[in-house]
Structure 1
Amino acid sequence: MTGAALSQIADPAACPRLVIKVGSALLVERGGALRREWLQALAGEISEARRRGQQVVVVSSGAIALGAARLGLSGGGRTSLADAQAAAAVGQIALAGAWDELLGAEGLVAAQLLLTLEDLEDRRRYLNASSTLARLLDQGAIPVVNENDSVATAEIRFGDNDRLAARVAQAAGADAVALLSDVDGLFDRDPKDPEARLVREVRGVDEAVRAMATGGSGSGMGSGGMVSKLEAAEIAGRAGIALAILNGTHARPLARALAEDKGTLFVPQRRDGGRKVWLGGRIAPAGVLTVDAGCAAALGAGSSLLAAGVVGVDGDFARGDLVTIHSAKGDRLAQGLVEYTAAECRAIAGRKASDQAALLGYAPRAAVIHRDHMVLL
């Protein structure tokens, strides 16, 4: 999807494959009951999309909130990791059953995929997930995806379904993502401010755009906020995937947002190749390499990362792990697969190639991170 109109989300020529993300606050009342009429209307919209020739993937939250109500857990099931995992185990059955029933009433087949962070961080498992999504879509099914919160931990998880939706869009080869939220989109300041204005189009997430976002979930049930939605837009944008933030609190939210042309559309500014899409979308780096200004400029021009430009090493990583590259000011520049362990990086940081053999005890490799295994952020 290369245009800059929200209406293209419903155009099968511009957007043959669409990912729709639904948050907990939209699916579940505060008391833990499913918003059945709202979900039924959304199922109808998905059916309409299928009839006009679009393939649809759903990323659905709600398992923890539903399960917590059934188990009688306080705090919506988020008081502890054990509560969240137990609530998810119970709630996922109810959530999958609701989607299966309501999509089935529209003549559609629902399929459930529960993913962990590692399923999309590991290259082989990412390709397996991609293959499964492709096959389901080819067969006309509606994949309903959620994070597998019954086994996810605080350290190994997406943390919110906004980023999961963007990663699933990459794996599915989608053209656009619609994040259904409790606000109309991104505002230039706190939406509670009467002077706040809706930002209708964003071409590239920069510091000015990030400054508009405020963290946290207004409902208290979800785990995402506007910051996570901007991160999702960046992940999707690297793959040439458009992302829209739309208000999902109304009945038939897609039709309403498109009819009123109300929402924020993030127009992608690049389209990386398949492997770099996967690399750029990974969100669990094992460490950080800080580089000097000259090195930062060279990376921007397409160079590999050489040890001479490294001025700081953080983390405990092994060869082949994902690390992020930061500027001296702390800006995220790139990430990629490192050719050395953290200890080796510390030994050769700032040193020329001619000095490295003596420090390492073997001939140095061509780069700390080769440009073929690195993606600019």
Structure 2
Amino acid sequence: MPQTLVIKIGTSSLTHSETGFLALATIAQLVETLSQLRRQGHQVILVSSGAVGVGCARLGLTERPRTISMKQAVAAVGQGRLMRVYDDLFSSLQQPIAQVLLTRSDLVQRSRYVNAYRTFRQLLKLGVIPIVNENDTLAVDELKFGDNDTLSAMVASLVEADWLFLLTDVDRLYSADPRYYPNAEPIVHVDRIDSLNALNVEVGDRGTTWGTGGMMTKIAAARIATTAGIRTVITEGRSPQNIFKVLKGEQVGTQFAPQPQPVNARKRWIAHGLVPAGKLYLDHGAVNAIRQAGKSLLAAGITEVEGEFQSQDAVQLCDPVGQEIARGLVNYNSTELQKILGCHSDEIPHILGYAGAETVVHRDNLVLS
């Protein structure tokens, strides 16, 4: 049965760690695998890292740039080269591709989020494989995805994919980094990602010389995807044909089961598309009302307001010790909330001088973290 697949491959799989040059044999295998998946009727999206690594090799740089401006310049050099390689290889198999460069702001505004969805859907309908990367040349720090693991999970959520494959430099998730801890235990199946502690995993965020993400970002990406009802797999990037084995039901890599009741598209946008503009600290009563009873947030339950924001901005809702419990769209700006925090709803018109919303964050605009 045809399915929608999002495949993310990391810099560590696309390039040789010693030189930063492209690993052409791996890329050729990847292209052949994805083209074959398309011929089988699947809809395929590739999220590809590597632009910065390729740019470094092209410019003769020996280490990854540290400043934003340098990284963006190097990405601009590498992105065209990377797409040229992909286009040559996919063209030899008569498979059309498209370049899609995204910034976080493309997913922040609801209308642009919907437009991105329609663009992907149209490309897939045409039989094209979109190749996605973050628009490193233009992205500003506060509106960056940060890593392509997160980007791939958000793209998978956006297009309502069936599978997300995270191809990396290890064959699966381990209880610790097997490169440094020989006794690390492999983890084959994960039913639910409530926390890293529940997974019993020690995760370093070392990544590689050329990549940005360690295993931490992959687990975070799996959490985003499984919340959207997407089955997620971490497996070895040097063997992209493993995707066929997974689709046949073989236990390859680490597989994360999708949540049985996925969050709807609007709430996924609130949880993952938006960048929070502030924090609201809540008392224990409000935390329990939101967590246990699924209720809206009222002003009476707020103990502290942090940040400057406008009405309808996204904010983090935190428990008394600062742990995020939810995110939501707020009905008041930060100045108004400073005046009404801790107050009952019927006092708000008197304090502000006008009738505001009864709730600070309505439960329809609130997503548990």
TM-score, with normalisation over the residues of structure 1? Answer: 0.91
The correspondence for 2:185, drawn from 197, 210, 217, is: 197
Corresponding letter in the other structure for 1:71: L
Q: Residue 188 of structure 1: CA displacement?
A: 2.3
Distance between the aligned counterparts of 2:12 and 2:160, measured in 1?
27
Q: Deviations over 1:318-339 (max 9, x none)?
A: 1111111111233321111111
Corresponding letter in the other structure for 2:286: C
- Which secondary structure state, in structure 1, belongs to the residue aligned with residue 318 of structure 2? strand
1:332 aligns with 2:321: no
Q: Mean alpha-carbon deviation: is it higher for 229-238 or for 256-265? A: 256-265
Q: Which residue matches 2:278?
A: 287
Q: Residue 211 of structure 1: CA displacement?
A: 5.6
Q: Describe how 1:139-288 pairs up with structure 2 within 5 A.
A: 139-191=126-178, 192-207=180-195, 208-209=197-198, 212-250=201-239, 252-255=241-244, 261-269=251-259, 270-282=261-273, 284-288=275-279
- Which secondary structure state, in structure 1, belongs to the residue aligned with residue 132 of structure 2? strand
- Which secondary structure state, in structure 2, belongs to the residue aligned with residue 334 of structure 1? strand
Distance between the aligned counterparts of 2:166 and 2:101, measured in 1?
19
Distance between the aligned counterparts of 1:290 and 1:244, measured in 2?
35
CA contact (8 A) 2:48 2:133 kept: yes
Q: Mean alpha-carbon deviation: is it higher for 280-289 or for 160-169? A: 280-289
Q: Deviations over 1:167-210 (max 9, x none)?
A: 11112221110000111222223433233211212122123246
Q: Residue 24 of structure 1: CA displacement?
A: 0.9
Structure 1 moving runs of 4+ over 6 Å: 256-260
Distance between the aligned counterparts of 1:98 and 1:253, measured in 2?
22
Corresponding letter in the other structure for 2:276: P
Distance 1:251 1:140, change over 3 A: closer
Distance between the aligned counterparts of 1:257 and 1:216, measured in 2?
26
The correspondence for 1:24, drawn from 2, 7, 11, is: 11
Distance 1:18 1:257, change over 3 A: closer
- Which secondary structure state, in structure 2, belongs to the residue aligned with residue 313 of structure 1? strand
Distance between the aligned counterparts of 2:69 and 2:85, measured in 1?
25
- Which secondary structure state, in structure 1, belongs to the residue aligned with residue 203 of structure 2? coil
Question: Runs of 5+ in structure 2 lacking a partner?
Answer: none
Question: Runs of 5+ in structure 1 lacking a partner?
Answer: 1-11
Q: Residue 366 of structure 1: CA displacement?
A: 1.8
Distance between the aligned counterparts of 1:65 and 1:283, measured in 2?
28
The correspondence for 2:335, drawn from 337, 343, 359, is: 343
1:323 aligns with 2:315: yes
Q: Residue 355 of structure 1: CA displacement?
A: 2.3
RMSD: 1.9
Aligned-residue sequence identity (percent) comes to 41
Distance between the aligned counterparts of 2:60 and 2:96, measured in 1?
31
Distance between the aligned counterparts of 1:213 and 1:126, measured in 2?
35
Q: Residue 255 of structure 1: CA displacement?
A: 4.6
Distance between the aligned counterparts of 1:83 and 1:162, measured in 2?
22
Q: Deviations over 1:2-22 (max 9, x none)?
A: xxxxxxxxxx35xx0000001
1:48 aligns with 2:36: yes
Q: Which residue matches 2:22?
A: 34
CA contact (8 A) 1:248 1:254 kept: no
CA contact (8 A) 1:42 1:253 kept: no
Corresponding letter in the other structure for 2:170: V
Distance 1:203 1:283, change over 3 A: farther
- Which secondary structure state, in structure 1, belongs to the residue aligned with residue 356 of structure 2? coil
